[in-house]
């Protein structure tokens, strides 16, 4: 988990107002601690929407003040998944431009 946080911090350092943090437990409780009221979720496919919609409804049930916003990914990234990236890289395929550079370097170290 620490490595993922590091990847996100490095990848988002140039984006103003982005705070990277982690938690265990319910997202709703973490949001209360942070005084946050909006969840932003990225969707790649219909299957993502089905799961995320259920989660949004449960979060709303737990705290009606919480709003979930869904954003569709660009079509040029909609087919990507971590398992697909790992598989391509594992067979020596090029993943440059598909993942942040810091992640790519670490992935190649592990292979």
* pLDDT band for position 86 (cuts 50, 70, 90): very high
Give me the sign of the Cα torsion angle 46, 38, 7, 14. positive
pLDDT of residue 57: 97
Mean pLDDT, all residues of the chain: 93
- Residue 15 sits at the vertex; the CA angle it makes with 14 and 18, to the nearest 5 degrees, is 125
pTM: 0.76
Does residue 27 carry a pLDDT above 80? yes
Domains, in order of start, for the chain:
1-9+20-75 (3.40.50.620), 80-111 (no CATH)
Crossing angle of helices 46-62 and 27-34, in 10° steps, is 60
pLDDT of residue 110: 84
Give the pair of three-digit tokens for residue 98. 């598909």
């Amino acid at each position: 988990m620490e490595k993922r946080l590091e990847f996100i911090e490095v990848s988002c350092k140039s984006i103003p107002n982005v705070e990277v943090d982690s938690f265990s437990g319910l997202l709703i409780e973490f949001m209360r601690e942070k005084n946050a009221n909006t969840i932003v979720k990225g969707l790649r496919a219909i299957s993502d929407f089905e799961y995320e919609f259920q989660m949004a409804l449960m979060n709303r049930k737990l705290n009606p003040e919480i709003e979930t916003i869904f954003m569709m990914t660009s079509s040029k990234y909609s087919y990507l998944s971590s398992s697909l990236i790992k598989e391509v890289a594992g067979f020596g395929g090029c993943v440059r431009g598909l993942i942040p550079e810091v992640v790519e370097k670490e992935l190649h170290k592990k292979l």
